[in-house]
Structure 1
Amino acid sequence: MLTVPGEPESGPRDGAEDISGLWSTRTMRAMFAAVAGVVVVVLIAVGAMQPPRSEGVSTDRLGPEQGESVADYLARARDSLNGTDSAERWALVSFTEYQTPQRLPELAGGLRIGRVLYQVPLPRVQTQLVTVQVPATEEVVLRSAEDAAWQLLDQLRRTVAVDERTEKITTVSVARLREGCACAVGLIVRGTLDQLRNLAARNGVRAVEALPADAVAGAFAVVPLLPDATGVIGPAPDDGPVPER
C-alpha cells in the first residue's frame, strides 16, 4: 500500500486517542457538575440570608374577636394607643350609638376618614356589615349611606339563589340606608397617637383601636364593636321577624 509523505497512515487507529477523549469528556462533565453544585449552594445560602418578599398577606385586624369580652376589647383598644411616636396610623372608631351620615365628620374629629362601616340595626335579625371606601372629602362621607345601599342591592342582584328571608332583610336594609338612617357603626380613620387619644375622649366614641404604623391601607380586616354589644362577642340572634320597611 502506497503512503503519501506527510499524511498519517490509513488503517485501524490505536484506540488510545478515543480513550483519552472519553476521559477528557467525563472529566469536563464532572467539573461542570461540581461547579453547578457550588452555584446552587451559594444561591441557597443567599436566599436564606435574604428571605423572599411578602406577597401582601397580612394578619392585621381591627375590632373584637369572637369569644372576647367587651371589657377586654375596650382595654385592648386603649392599650393600642400607648406610645410617644408621631407616626400616623390607621384606627377603628366604634360608636356608643348608631349614627347618621351627617354626624360622621364631627365624630372623626377632623381626622382623615378612609372607610365608613354600616350595619342596619333590626331587633334579633342578622344584617350585613357594609364597608364603604371614601376619599378624603366630606361630601363623599355624607353620601356614604347611599353607596352602602347600592352595594347591598348590587350584591343581591348578582346572587343566583337567595332565600326569602335574606332577600327581605336586604330590601329593608337598602330602604333604610337610602333614607339616611342611623346605621353607621364605625369609621376607619388615620392619625397620630396623640390625635387618636384625643378622639377616644370625644362624646359618642366608645373605643378607638390603632394598628401599628407600618400597617398597609386596605390590607387589614375590620370587625367593629357594635354600639349595642355587651358581655361576650358572639353571633347575633337571627330569630326575630323582619319588618316590612
Structure 2
Amino acid sequence: MTTRRRILLYVTCLAVLLGVAWYAGSRPSSSGPPPSATGSVRLGPDPGTAVADYLATLPGDLPAPGVTVPALVQLDAEVTGPQAVALAADGTLAEVVWRVPLPRVQTALRFEPLDDGVPPATAVDTARQRAALAAQADADRRTGRPGAVAAAEQAALARPGCGCVVALVVEADRTVLEALATRPGVRAVQAAPAGARLTDLALAPLLPEQTERADPLPDDGPVPTS
C-alpha cells in the first residue's frame, strides 16, 4: 500500500470515529426517569401482607411538600357516591373503586375513572351507572353462584344511594393527603411516587374486612336474591 493510500485510509477512519462520537454525544441522556408503564405502580398491600406492617409504611410514601401525586384513599367502610365526593373535596377526585358489601360473599372491585370536565358529583354518579352495567354484563354471561353474585351487585349499584365506594384515587399534595388520612372513615392513604401518572397505577385497596392480613375474604355466605 502506498503512503498516499495509507493517509487516505487514516483520514477516512478518523472521520467515521468523529461522526460516531458526535452522534453519541448528541443523543438525549438516558439518566432521566424511565418511561411510565401502565400498571407499573402498585398501590395497596401485596397479597398476604400483615395489615399493621402495610399501614406502618405509608407515611414514608408521602410526597415532598408542594408536589402533587395520585394517591389511593382506602376506607374503613363503603360509602355512597356523594360521601366520596365530599371526602375528596380538597383534592382532585380521579377514580372511584366500587364494591358491593355482602356478608361473607366475595364481590368484584370495579374501577371507574371519572370523566374529565364534569362536575365531581355527576362524574361519580355516571361511574356508578357504568359499574352497574358491568355487573349486569357479568350476570348475563355467568351461571350459578358467580352469576347470582353479579346480579346482586347490579341490583345494589343501580340504586343512587348505594354505599358501595370502598376506595378513591385522589390527586393532591402532601398537605391535603395528610389531612385526608386523619378524616373519619379513612383507613389509609398511599401516595404514588412523584411523576407517576394515573395510567401507571395498579390498584389493590385494603378492604374493610381485612383486619390482620391482606388475604382473600370468605365466600360461603348466602347470596341475596333481590
TM over 0.5: yes
Counterpart residue number, 1:144: 127
CA distance 1:55–1:77, shift in 2 (3 Å): closer
Question: Quick check: 1:92–1:208 contact (8 Å CA) kept in 2?
Answer: yes
Distance 2:31 2:143 in 1: 46
Distance 1:90 1:163 in 2: 37
Counterpart residue number, 2:47: 66
Q: Give the CA deviation at 1:228.
A: 2.2
Deviations 1:47-80 (A, max 9, x none): 8x85599664252111111111111121122222
Q: Give the CA deviation at 1:143.
A: 4.1
Deviations 1:97-118 (A, max 9, x none): 1111121111113321100101
Task: Map 1:97-176; keep pairs closer than 5 Å.
Answer: 97-134=77-114, 135=116, 137-157=120-140, 159=141, 162-176=142-156
Question: Quick check: 1:69–1:231 contact (8 Å CA) kept in 2?
Answer: yes
Counterpart residue number, 1:11: none
Q: Does 1:91 align with 2:71?
A: yes
Deviations 1:170-210 (A, max 9, x none): 00000011123211101000111011101111111111111
Question: Quick check: 1:109–1:199 contact (8 Å CA) kept in 2?
Answer: no
Distance 1:155 1:242 in 2: 15
Q: Give the CA deviation at 1:155.
A: 4.5
Q: Does 1:227 align with 2:208?
A: yes
Counterpart residue number, 1:7: none
Distance 1:93 1:154 in 2: 28
Whose Rg is larger?
1
CA distance 1:36–1:238, shift in 2 (3 Å): farther
SS in 2 for 1:218: helix
* Count of matched residue pairs: 219
Distance 1:39 1:155 in 2: 60
SS in 2 for 1:110: coil
Counterpart residue number, 1:19: none
CA distance 1:46–1:234, shift in 2 (3 Å): farther
CA RMSD across the alignment: 3.2
Deviations 1:8-38 (A, max 9, x none): xxxxxxxxxxxxxxxxxxxxxxxx99x9899
Stretches of 4+ moved more than 3 A in 1? Answer: 35-47, 49-56, 154-157
Q: Which moved more, 1:51-60 or 1:220-229?
A: 51-60
State the TM-score, normalizing by the size of structure 1: 0.74
SS in 2 for 1:123: coil
1:208 aligned residue (189, 200, 212) = 189
Question: Quick check: 1:101–1:143 contact (8 Å CA) kept in 2?
Answer: no
State the TM-score, normalizing by the size of structure 2: 0.80
Q: Does 1:238 align with 2:219?
A: yes
Q: How many percent identity over aligned positions?
A: 32
